Amino acid sequence: MALNVLVTGGAGYIGSHTARQLVTAGHRVVVLDNFYSGHRWAVPNSASLIEGDVANGELVKRLLRDHKTQAVIHFAGHIVVPESVENPQKYYLNNTAGSLSLMQACMEMGVDKFIFSSSAAVYGTPEVLPAREDAPTAPINPYGWSKLMTEWMLRDLATSRKLDSARSDGQGGFRYVALRYFNVAGASIDGSLGQATPEATHLIKVACEAACGKRDGVTVFGDDYDTADGTCIRDYIHVEDLARAHLAALDYLTADGKSEILNCGYGHGFSVSEVLNQVRQISGVDFAVTMGSRRAGDPPALTADVTRIHEVLDWTPQHQDLAVICRTAHAWEKEGMSKRSETTAPSAHWLSSLLVI
């Protein structure tokens, strides 16, 4: 069923991949983005693009009303963990208070389906791996807390609105799916979309920049962890598979699915050294790798138990292969991103934003 969907942060890395898949699936998409880290060129032409902030309640309510919005997918948020330690209020204001403001607008305008970008950062350093959704949540930085608090608010709103619901079967009312992302990486298979965040810190992006000569090399943050090769292990998921999980979550909520929190990864991990070797092999560039000291707040290993997401959603990953993740990330870094950045001509989006605001 085609829906009217508001995508906050739809000009960003994961949001733009999801907006594209939503449009392709026939949904009518409105993107709300303040361009803190997003790009106009990343938004599909057939989506309406509105420049603005999720915390602007009046704007959001107008959008929800004017576009007869039926579901919200909420990506907009800050994502840099060390920055959240230095400037926690920035994260609580934008990620937590901004999300609350958006939820409030949904309540007032009767939008009952909400999909939220949560993070594996809510687990902190899990004692048992792979981590299940019911593992204790114990974030180790304000970024993780800002996401966890948003999950709590969603839970409580969904509980209160279920009580309000007139439906005798206990279904209906405000419902949400919070997707706890593990390590998102890669770029679109067709090479036209990818991560364009300046001063990125994520491993695969950094390694691809090094392979393309955009930085001198890569420093490994610690090789004395209790893992097979001493470097940290993460569960890397291709961005297009992650985007597809949002569409599956939308179908699930549309079919009256109840609120859920779901891990979004592949269920197995690779070490930092394995990732760097893969990028070296794919690029054919033997970029410099330096062993450095541990980075504060890094858990030695973080992998997802993905039993629940496969039980609940109709979601089949299509790019479950570190080589595909690294190959697409490298192609984007080498070719795709520069082509996109050169696109400066105003697009149809400008017109749609003038019409709506």
Rounded CA-CA distance 283/327 in Å is: 8
Q: Which amino acid is at 210?
A: A
Q: How far is the CB of 295 from ligand UFG (least distance, A)?
A: 5
**Rounded Cα distance, 117 and 54, in Å:** 14
Question: In whole angstroms, how close is the CB of 48 to ligand UFG at the nearest point?
Answer: 28
Question: Cα(65)–Cα(53) distance, rounded to whole angstroms?
Answer: 16
Q: Where in 269-298 is the site for ligand UFG (CB under 6 A)?
A: 272, 295, 298
Give first-to-last CA distance, the chain, whole Å: 28
Nearby residues of 176 by Cβ (< 8 Å), 6 or more positions away? 113, 114, 115, 116, 154, 157, 158, 253, 259, 260
Only one of the segments 12-20, 38-46, 201-209, 277-285 lies at the binding site for ligand UFG (rule: CB under 6 A); that segment is 201-209
Q: What type of residue is 305? A: D
Binding positions for ligand UFG, 66-85, rule CB under 6 A: 79, 81
User: How far lies 306's CA from each of 30, 155, 157, 221, in Å?
Assistant: 30, 21, 26, 27
Among 102, 111, 131, 218, binds ligand UFG (CB under 6 A): 218
200 by Cβ neighbours in 10 Å (0-12 / 13-18 / 19+) ranks as middle
Q: 202 or 327, CB closer to ligand UFG?
A: 202
If the CB atoms of residues 112 and 235 are measured against ligand UFG, the closer one turns out to be 235
| Catalytic residue set | 143
Smaller CB separation from ligand UFG, 51 or 298: 298
DSSP state, 313?
S
Q: Does position 234 bind ligand UFG by CB under 6 A? A: yes
Kindly determine how many residues on this chain lie close enough to bind ligand UFG according to the rule CB under 6 A: 22
The footprint of ligand UFG on residues 131-150 (CB under 6 A) is: 143
Out of 120, 249, 304, 326, point to the residue binding ligand UFG (CB under 6 A): 120
232 near ligand UFG, judged by CB under 6 A: yes
Stretch that binds ligand UFG, among 195-203, 243-251, 323-331, 340-348 (CB under 6 A): 195-203
202 binds ligand UFG (CB under 6 A): yes
Q: Of 157-165, 212-220, 310-318, 344-352, which part binds ligand UFG (CB under 6 A)?
A: 212-220
301 binds ligand UFG (CB under 6 A): no
Other C-beta atoms lying within 10 Å of the C-beta of residue 250? 25
Count CA within 13 A, CB hemisphere, residue 295.
17
Among 72, 73, 203, 261, binds ligand UFG (CB under 6 A): 203
Residue 167: HSE in the Cβ half-sphere, 13 Å Cα cutoff: 10
> Which residues bind to ligand UFG, rule: CB under 6 A?
79, 81, 119-121, 143, 183, 201-203, 206, 218-221, 232, 234, 272, 295, 298-299, 302
